[in-house]
Structure formats: structure tokens, C-alpha cells
Amino acid sequence: MWWVILAGGLGGFENVLMWVAILFLFSILSLLFTPQLISIQARLGIREAAKILRNLKEWADESRRISLNTLSKYGRPKRDFEKQFDSFLEFFTIEPVSDDPVGVIQRLDHLLDVRKKRFEGMISSLAPKADPETSASLEMVAEAAMASNFLYRLVRHYILLAEKTKSYQLAMLIQMQAPLLKEYGKAYFEATKVFAENKPIGDGAGPLVVAKLGQGSKWKEG
């Protein structure tokens, strides 16, 4: 009887050793292959984000083309200011430091004034024959094209950074944000077309509706 109990005890001990060996083997395999799996996941994430990047580039290039064609209607041939406009697309504004709240509104107001003057000066240089209303529309065309170009370059920068560092977290972050970035890029592109065609947008639609409804009526300023 005692040898049966001994055999059963040995069998249980062997089972424990077998499970320990299996767990040890899986631990070794996970240590060996986890970095490779993470690298594969990062590459897949970057590949998916690259598809969105191609769309953003197409929209940025098309926004640039629309802007150049629209500006060329008001005085200067496109070939004369193409490089100047490309340089203007790289223009951006750095917000003032907000750690010290004293005077931050005044500093921001000053930056916005300088930015507006920069836009007005550039449009008057690129389209000297445009009237004030048309110049305001051209400013919005240039700003929409600038936003489209900035979004493309920003996403491209992070994709290149993820490829260089092989960062799984950064690749996944880009992939998760890709649908939203695509919607932003499409919105900027559509805005460029709308402003180039002088169509009303936002608050401008209200006065247009009133004008259409009030055709033939007498107008009185309030």
C-alpha cells in the first residue's frame, strides 16, 4: 500500500515540475518575442497612419494650387509669386507664455494684430488689384491653405519620429487619432474651396438669406 501512495506522490511532484517548466518556457519565449511583436505592431500602426498622411498631402497640395490660381486673378502671374507664397505657407504664430498671467491678454492681442497685418501685407503684395472685400476673402483662402499645410507637416513629423524611434506608443497614438486628423484635413481643404469661390460661410450665410428673402423690399437701417 505504501508504494502506491509513494507513486502517487511522485506523480504529483512530476506534474508540478512539468507546469513549472512550461511556465518557464513561456516566460523565455515572451522575453524573446515580445520586442519583435511590439515592433511589428508599431510598423502596422505607422503603415495605417501613412495612408492618412497621403490624403493630407493631396489636400494640402490641392489647397495650395487653388490658392495660387485664385490669387493670380488679381494682378500678378502665378510664376512671379509662387515661391513667395510657399514661404508664406510656413508662417506661424507662437502664443505668449501663460505661466505669468500678468499682461498675457495684451501680449496675445499684440500678436494677433501683428499676424493680421502680416496677412494683409502679403495679400496686398500677391494680389494688388483686389478690392478690400476680395482681399478679406483671399486672406481666408491663404489661411485655410496654411492650416492644411501645417496639419500635413505636423502629422508627417510625428510619423517620421515614430519610425526613427520605433515607438509603439507614438505609432498607436497616431493611428488612434488618424480618423480625426483626416476629418480636419478634409475640412481645411473644403474651406479653401469655399473661400476661393466667395461663398458665404458661418455668420456670412445669415445676411445672404435675408437678402434673398427681401428681394424687392425697401430696406431701412436700424
Q: Along the 222 residues of the chain, how does pLDDT read in single tens digits? A: 444 444 444 455 567 677 777 777 777 766 666 666 666 777 777 787 888 899 999 999 999 999 999 988 887 887 888 888 888 888 877 777 766 677 778 888 888 888 888 888 888 888 888 888 888 889 999 999 999 999 999 999 998 888 888 777 788 888 888 889 999 999 999 999 988 888 777 666 777 777 777 776 777 765
Residues 6+ apart with CB under 8 A from 28: none
Characterize 10-24 residue by residue with b for buried, 16 or more Cβ atoms within 10 angstroms of its Cβ, and e for exposed.
eeeeeeeeeeeeeee
Give Cα 130 distance to the centre of its chain: 31
- State the pLDDT at residue 110: 85
Number of domain units in the chain: 1
- The beta strands (E) that lie in 103-183 are given as none
- State the pLDDT at residue 33: 61
Is 211 a member of any domain? Answer: no
> Residue 115 has which C-alpha cell?
499676424
CB 71 within 8 A of CB 129: no
Rounded to whole angstroms, how far apart are CA atoms 35 and 145?
41
- State the pLDDT at residue 131: 87
Is 146 a member of any domain? Answer: yes
Is 33 a member of any domain? Answer: no
Is 15 a member of any domain? Answer: no
CB 66 within 8 A of CB 193: yes
Is 60 a member of any domain? Answer: yes
Domain that holds residue 184: 44-200
Residues 6+ apart with CB under 8 A from 132: none
Residues 6+ apart with CB under 8 A from 64: 85, 86, 89, 145, 149
Is 19 a member of any domain? Answer: no
Q: What is the DSSP letter of 95?
A: P
- State the pLDDT at residue 46: 77
Q: Which of 43, 28, 63, 58 minimizes the C-alpha distance to 146?
A: 63
Is 124 a member of any domain? Answer: yes
In which element (H, E) is residue 106 found?
helix 104-126
Is 216 a member of any domain? Answer: no
